[in-house]
Amino acid sequence: MINPHGGPLVDRMVPHPEELDATLTTITLSRRSQSDLEMIATGACSPLTGFMSQQDYSSVVEEMRLANGSVWSIPITLPISAEQVSNLKGVEEATLSTESDGVIGKIQISDIYKPDKGREAEKVYLATDDKHPGVAALLSGGKYYVAGDIEVYQLPEHKHFGEYRMSPRQLRAVIEEKGWKSVVAFQTRNPIHRAHEYITKCALEMVDGLIIHPIVGETKSDDIPADVRMACYEAIIEHYYPHRHTILSVYPASMRYAGPREAIFHALTRKNYGCTHFIVGRDHAGVGSYYGTYDAQKIFENFNREELGIEPMFFEHAFYCKRTNSMATTKTSRAMDHEKVFLSGTKVREMLIAGVDLPEEFTRPEVSDILKKHYGGSN
C-alpha cells in the first residue's frame, strides 16, 4: 500500500490520558480548528504532529514546503487572540476544548507568533479582499498563532454520517481488505452531477477502486449542506456506481477555497488515506473568479511526482453532448456551445426553487428530487 506523506502515519490520539492539571489555560477551538485538530490527530495531515511553528508556517506560505523540504501547501495553524497570548506567557502547555465537548486534548506549546496575514492571503489564496471566503475566515481569526504538538483524548462530537466516518487508518484497512492496489479519490463539496459521474468513472477505468470523499467540515453559507449532499451521494452510488469498486467516506476538513494550493493539500491528505491517485478537475477548490479554470492542475507542475507520491489525474470540463448523445469534453467532442448541456450554479438554484426538474443530461433524477426538496420546489 502507498506510504503516508513524509513517513509513518501520524497518530496523536491518547485514549487514556493522565489526569489533567486543572489550572491549565484552555483554548476553545473554532469549527475550522476542530477540523484541523481531527485531521492532525488521525494522521490525515501526516507528517504534521501539531499546529505549525513559525518556521514551518513561513516556509509553507513562501515555498509550499515544510521547513524540512517536504511538500506542503496550506498553513495548518491555531489562531488565538492577543488576550490569550497574555494568558499563555511562560506556559508550556494548554488544554484544547470545544463548546459542546469540553476538554478534548492538549497542546505542548513550542511557539507563539504574530503572522503577516496579508502576506498569507496573497500567497495562499492569491487574494487579499474579504469577499473571498477563505481570506475572510483568515482575517477574522485571532491575530496570533500558537504552535506545538497535540494529543487528543476524543474527537469533536459528530452527530451525522457516523457509518461513513473513517480515519486514514480505518480506510486503509478497508482498501487492503478489498485487495485494491490502486485507488483514486474524488474530492467534492457539491452533489455529483453527470460531469462528475463521467470523470470519476473514467478514472475508475484505470484503477481498482474509487473513494468518493466529500468534505463535511465548514463550508461557506451558500454551499449545499452536507446532509443534503450526502443523501445525493447515497442515491447516486446506490443506482449508478459499481458497489464492488466504490466506497463513500467523509472527509472532515474545512474548505479553504484556496484553489490551486488547496488542490495540492487535498492530494497529499488523500495519500494519507491510502489513495494512489487523485482527481483534479475544472476549478478545483475554487470560488468566484479568483482562479483560472485549470490553475489547480498547472500548480502540480511545480513538483515532481516522486515528492508528491500520489498521481494526479487531470480532466477537462465535461458536459452532455447533444451531437453524440453522450458525456464528453472538448477533447472528445466537436459540439458547438448550443449542443452542450451544462448549467451554472445560479441557473440550477433558480430551477430547483421553482420546482423544475433538472434535465437528466445534467444530473440523475434521484439527485434532482433530493435537491428540489431541499430548495422547497413547489411542483
What is the maximum alpha-carbon separation in the chain? 71
Kind plus residue range of the DSSP H or E element containing 349: helix 345-353
The one-letter code for the residue type at 257 is Y
189 in active site = yes
Task: For helices 345-353 and 365-374, give the axis angle rounded to 10 degrees.
Answer: 70
Q: Percent helix, strand and coil across the chain, each rounded to 5?
A: 35, 20, 45
Distances (CA, A) of 328 to 43, 201, 205, 363: 37, 12, 16, 14
Sign of CA dihedral 50, 53, 55, 57: positive
**Active-site residue (options: 172, 189, 229, 270):** 189
Three-state secondary structure call for residue 145: strand
Sign of CA dihedral 213, 218, 220, 224: positive
Give the span between the Cα atoms of 324 and 336, in whole angstroms.
12
Q: Which three cell numbers stand for residue 176?
A: 487492503
Give the span between the Cα atoms of 45 and 192, in whole angstroms.
26
Q: Which three cell numbers stand for residue 298?
A: 498547472
- Do the bridges between strand 93-98 and strand 50-51 make them parallel or antiparallel, or are there none, so unpaired? unpaired
* 148 CB burial (10 A radius; 0-12, 13-18, 19+): buried
**Taking a C-beta distance cutoff of 8 angstroms, is the pair 67, 52 a contact?**
no
**Active-site residue (options: 31, 65, 169, 190):** 190
**Taking a C-beta distance cutoff of 8 angstroms, is the pair 103, 95 a contact?**
yes
Give me the count of residues in the chain. 379
Q: Is the peptide bond before 8 cis (omega within 30 degrees of 0)?
A: no
302 in active site = no
Give the span between the Cα atoms of 269 and 170, in whole angstroms.
14
Q: How many CA atoms lie within 13 A of 192 on its CB side?
A: 27
The catalytic residue positions are 189-190
